Structure 1
Amino acid sequence: MLHSKTLNWALAIVCCLICCGCSLPQVTAESRIFLNLDLEFVGDYALPQTSFEGTTVGGLSALTYDQRRDLIYALSDDRQQPRFYTLALNISEADQIEEITVETVTVLQDEQEQSVAPKVLDPEGIVLTPQDQLWISSEGVQTQSPPILAAFDLAQGSWQEQLKLPSHFLPALATDELETSEPPAPQGIADNRGFEALAISPEGDRIFTATELPLIQDVNPDDSDPKFYSRLLHYLVGDVRPLLISEYLYPLEPPTLGTGLNGLTELTTLDSGGHFLSLERSFSPLSGFNAKVFQIATGGATDTSSLEKLELPLQGVNPVFKQPLLNLRDLGMTLSNLEGMVSGPILSDGSRSLLLVSDNGFEAEQPTQFLLFRLKKKPQQSTSG
């Protein structure tokens, strides 16, 4: 009898809450997939193109943050002399970038401990491991060198090791067995459209890289409504023999007349559970450069490492999940060619920062643009009864 009264009271309270319109948190499938994150613009900084120790400080395509030393390593995508710069950021108590200072420049070396020869690397991505090792991704140079994922020493820039890439990322090689044999179908990474994005796990034992645009064989030229997918690779690295763990498809934003083609230029890990931020960049003669930041989640995505060519439209293959976070055009400012993105220093309120950088293409009159953001929690949504 007492149990029945208690149950009746509980039901009455629930009904009362509903009738009174009390707000309860809204739980959606999307909220279970993604982290509760938002981006707040903090400020920007323009670094004029200058010279440093006989090099031109420009063409910055990627950033990685050294938390122990509170320094930024910025990769220059100069095919003639691949290198990275050590930058010091002076951030005020008001979380504004007051100054960015170039401290050192390090030229990358090959396996013979010589400066990497011109047009061997087209460096686009950089991450730092706890062992002071820099992993660098190169798009490759068409007909001259394949795409590369290689590790270099932080102190000297010396070559240390290289990852093996799946064959479907590489150009098809013609055979000399038969003079009458047809040339192989084009495949692999397109020139200047390769490994732009590179990220590392918080523990430093896994790296992730993705192509800017689809592989050549993953595009159907006859499709009237094409869907474009980059490929995202997941490697185990560190104190073990490097191993390819998985591969996923990343759905690119569809091109429009006003924005042009969208390319994936950077990834940044948010945690060890498969959550990332991604940066897509576009250019149109009508509207200039634009960029968008997304949150993506790999949980539930299909491993596509066995698919040498995509059969489109996709059937039975789940790409990574993707959620728009910020359209940078909404900032109301002129955007440059934004390519790099990294989680940077902790801000004054204890929140994580996010730093974006532009590639000025070594144009003397075009400064390098830095944009600083605060990563924060989204306001919690609620529903009323």
Structure 2
Amino acid sequence: MSASLIRRACAAALLLTSTLAPAVAAAPQPGAPAPESKRAAQARLLGEKIVPYKLDFLGTTVGGLSGIDRDRCTGEYVLISDDRSFLQPARVYTARLDVDTDGVHSVDFTGTRPLLQPDGSVYPSPALGDGKAIDPEEIRVDPLKCRYWWGQEGDRPPVAGPPVIQPSVEISDPDGSHRGRLRLPENYTITADRGPRRNQAVEALTFGARGTVVTSAIEGPLVQDGPVPDLTHGALVRVTQQTRAGRVLGQFAYPIEKIFAESDPTSPWGPDTGVPSILAFPDDPARYLVLERTWVAGSGYKIRLYDATTRGATDVQAMDSLVDRPVVPMRKRLVADFHTLGLSTVDNTEGMTWGPVLPSGERSLILVSDDNFDKDAVTQFVALALR
């Protein structure tokens, strides 16, 4: 979910520098499984690069970059903008990144394409109110066919009148042509009293098991799964493993952290927290990197990266609600708190992908922030080394 431009304008530029409290599961964990033998991944900063604000590229405004993935067929990176066709049609970019052990040397955009509807037309602006608008947030390049699989959050209108737009995972060719859609679990559907909250739907997507398993995560708790996190409690969000044809293999509860600070009482905006990206480990279909992103008025962003597993977690796909249920959530261990990495700023990081293996044997991880087309934010590429 992209933070509102208005809300970002209201946010203070302060960034939290307090020490991170130990990660704790957001719900009771009866019968917690035995600890894993594997150590959690560890991360160190390689470097960063900030793209100029509202960079013009081929007549489009570069910004709102919410998802990134590496295309094995071209060696380039593919990025999705969350512009909902307000500035230009909803679109993707391709780029070359020069990253090595000495840092991020350059980010060079090489192309852009609009995402197309099944009839070949571009997606309309939500202002039209025809129910066909999208909210693009995540992109993955299919490791088997090099097509683009991209997630969009749809819309749950805050008031009666505008149509509900269901979240979805669409499939496109690199030229933007529509090729299909992944059938999502039934509990991802927005209804009057069930399903994802507004701006907290499908924002995380990844391929695992050599491209045969598609995993998605809901950004925040489903309406029926309880309240959103606050200062004293975290929450559970659903992570779903599916076949490429859409059959659900398993659904699990991932515990997101409680809110890290009190909001500025003069701000009209409450905290915003959730899971904007998930990334499968290449050698373990049950293991993921999970990005947690939190914004608090007056304190700014807190970005944390976790090493998590579905192994030993309860399969919750048959549970209508997770409230007061004996659920063993996914286990997670902290990999990085972005405030401890030495970055020039910590902003709205939403996308991540594996980069090349480094000479040290470490695997590089590339992350990108969504500037919301806001002059007070940044489009920041960050490279980490993981071992």
> Partner amino acid for 2:63?
G
Structure 2 residue ranges without an equivalent (≥5): 1-32, 127-132, 157-162, 264-270
Shift of 1:258: 4.8
Name the larger-Rg structure.
1
Compared with structure 1, are the counterparts of its residues 289 and 224 closer, same or farther at alpha carbon in structure 2 (3 Å cutoff)? Answer: closer
1:38-77 aligned at under 5 Å gives the runs 38-49=42-53, 50-77=55-82
Compared with structure 1, are the counterparts of its residues 227 and 37 closer, same or farther at alpha carbon in structure 2 (3 Å cutoff)? Answer: closer
> Partner amino acid for 2:70?
Y
Structure 1 residue ranges without an equivalent (≥5): 1-27, 173-183, 377-385
- TM-score, normalized by length of structure 1? 0.80
Match of 1:170 among 166, 189, 193: 189
2:3 maps to none
Shift of 1:52: 1.3
1:254-273 aligned at under 5 Å gives the runs 254-258=258-262, 260-270=271-281, 271-273=283-285
CA distance in 1, matches of 2:372, 2:359: 33
Compared with structure 1, are the counterparts of its residues 244 and 336 closer, same or farther at alpha carbon in structure 2 (3 Å cutoff)? Answer: same
Match of 1:308 among 309, 320, 323: 320
Matched, 1:291 2:303: yes
2:25 maps to none
- Summarize deviations over 1:204-259 as a string: whole Å, max 9, x none: 121111011101111158x996441111111111xxx3322111111111123258
Compared with structure 1, are the counterparts of its residues 243 and 281 closer, same or farther at alpha carbon in structure 2 (3 Å cutoff)? Answer: same
Corresponding pairs, count: 329
3-state SS in 2 of match to 1:56:
strand
Matched, 1:191 2:202: no
CA distance in 1, matches of 2:40, 2:329: 21
Q: Let me know the Cα RMSD of the aligned residues.
A: 2.3
- Summarize deviations over 1:262-299 as a string: whole Å, max 9, x none: 31111111133311111101112232112000000111
> Partner amino acid for 2:331?
F
> Partner amino acid for 1:309?
S
CA distance in 1, matches of 2:102, 2:262: 34
1:181 maps to none
Shift of 1:118: 2.3
Shift of 1:111: 0.8
2:224 maps to 217
Match of 2:371 among 353, 360, 364: 360
CA distance in 1, matches of 2:357, 2:339: 25
Tell me if structure 1 keeps the 8 A contact 2:293–2:301: yes
Match of 1:248 among 222, 245, 252: 252
Matched, 1:123 2:131: no
Matched, 1:138 2:138: no
1:91 maps to 99
Tell me if structure 2 keeps the 8 A contact 1:88–1:100: yes
- TM-score, normalized by length of structure 2? 0.80
> Partner amino acid for 1:38?
Q
2:239 maps to 232
Compared with structure 1, are the counterparts of its residues 124 and 227 closer, same or farther at alpha carbon in structure 2 (3 Å cutoff)? Answer: same
Identity of aligned residues (%): 29
2:173 maps to 153
CA distance in 1, matches of 2:80, 2:262: 30
Compared with structure 1, are the counterparts of its residues 57 and 202 closer, same or farther at alpha carbon in structure 2 (3 Å cutoff)? Answer: farther
